[in-house]
Chain A
Amino acid sequence: MLAILVMAIPASAQQCLSMLEDKRFTLVVPYSPGGGYDGYARVFAAQFEALTGSVMRIRFLPGAGAMIGINAVAQADPSDLVLGLFNPTILLNNKIVGSDSPETSSLVLLGSLNTDTTAWIKKEDKQVLFDSSEPRLFAVPGNSDFTRVLLPGYALGWNINLIRGYTGSGEGLFAVLREDVDFFFSSSISMANQIQSLGGLTTFMTLTAGPDPIFPEAAYLAGAGGVVEQLTRELNVEQQRERQEIARLSVELAKSYRAISISSSVDSRLVDCLLAVVETTIFSNELQSVAAEQNLTLEPIDGTALKEEVDRAEALIESNWDLLQQLVARYQ
């Protein structure tokens, strides 16, 4: 199997396999074991080892909203060969709300195993109207509420209140089932599983610019036929444009990439080599079949394309910076 994998690597990249052979890599996952990134880390590490002949240990470094692990990757000594598996849009979210975190330029994105979207969940038998002015209550875990709730909420023109302090997605969904809150939000893939497990819940809307492949029947936020378009028909053109712009930004920032990265202080030849090897690993049929066995959805993106996506989101932030800061000031 290794021979087939090696043959799949371009000739230039084949040279770098000798550079990686017998090396000891560490893959940092800045979340607790057993979470949504755990399975991806294990299958990726096994495949990477098989391809390169290296050893890749997984270290879980949770805490401080993933910042402990992300800093460990960004500040790692280049000779330590530390890769990270996390969502780089966290850094953009932190930049908007002013939290301390490394710049995206301090990391080189090597590729992504999977891209997930965000879904808003409500109780199945609870009637919720899109165009009502009544206040809506959201259960909020972690620190990503600005980009996944308040920003899309602004695009919708909703009056949103947050109940902060939930410790995980299970708790948030329980709160919806108990009708303590009206909505909860989380990544679509994990929501699909949890909706099936818990029962009594449904997807209200996805933060996408078209039908979400996981919830194709659900309403979506941005773009033609999206909820924002329907709700802003009465507004003037300029207001419609601004709302759509914010909706599109919400969609970009609500994406969750399971991205592999390394500190940008690493030697550029090694980075080039890793870009090729990670690309081969994440697009390999072997990884696809192992992931399928473990019910993990793979939707790989190579490092270059991933960087373009993150850069596009960053450019959107820059062009809407003043408005975003006004919103941050209003909600905090």
Chain B
Amino acid sequence: MTTIDKAPTVQRRSAGTGTPATRILGIITIVSMVWLVAFGLGFSPADRDQEEAVRIMYVHVPTIWIAYLAFVVTAVASGLYLFGRKKSLGWDRLAGASAEIGTTFVAMTLVVGALWGRLTWGVFWQWDARLTTTALLFVTYVGYLAVRRLGGSHEQRARRSAVIGLLAVLLLPLVHWSVRLWRSLHQEATVLDTDGDIDMDGLMLFSLFVGVVAFTLFYIWLVLHRTRVMAMEDMMEDHGLDEALAARRREAATLNGEEN
């Protein structure tokens, strides 16, 4: 952990990472979350087979959608860092912030999915193809985040994590198609299916749509804030390193003066 001296230019009572745009986005996100709860728990009808348990779908499906989105953003940002002409650390921070959010959302998918599984299958967990590949996805991105925390310069961190970010995203098709590749307890995709036929009640589909929109807005809001926090963490680290180098130089100069 670095220490930083309070410089005279330091601002007090800072607004943090917020801007008017993120505040507006935050308010829209909260409103859409309220809509999600109203439709998910209230207005949407019960399912013929699953009855009330289907209501878990309105939070379960959007969580894995955000995880997919977040990991694709991580891969794209990693590619832009690795192959872009200007090796901007901004891409690396976006990749890292997105992977953090995606990993948390995969964890939520697994936990909420386990609750849904208990109601529909009678068990919290099965070593089923979809569940196992999703758990593998989670572990892979925990590994990605661990690699980001290894020592070295920002550029070293960016380079090695970008390579992993590009490789890890290859798991997404495996997770998504696992229900078709292997025999699975988990149902096949209802919306993102290849035949384009959506076999779902209109109000249920709308509730799911509200969930996806609400969580996507939340993802955008959070990734903006987290990227800014990461930029400040990098600045603090650089400042700490500069301070340490200056202290070492002063120490060396004092020792040289005593010898002379």
Instruction: Indicate, yes or no, whether A interacts with B.
Output: no
Interface residues of B (CB under 8 A from A): none
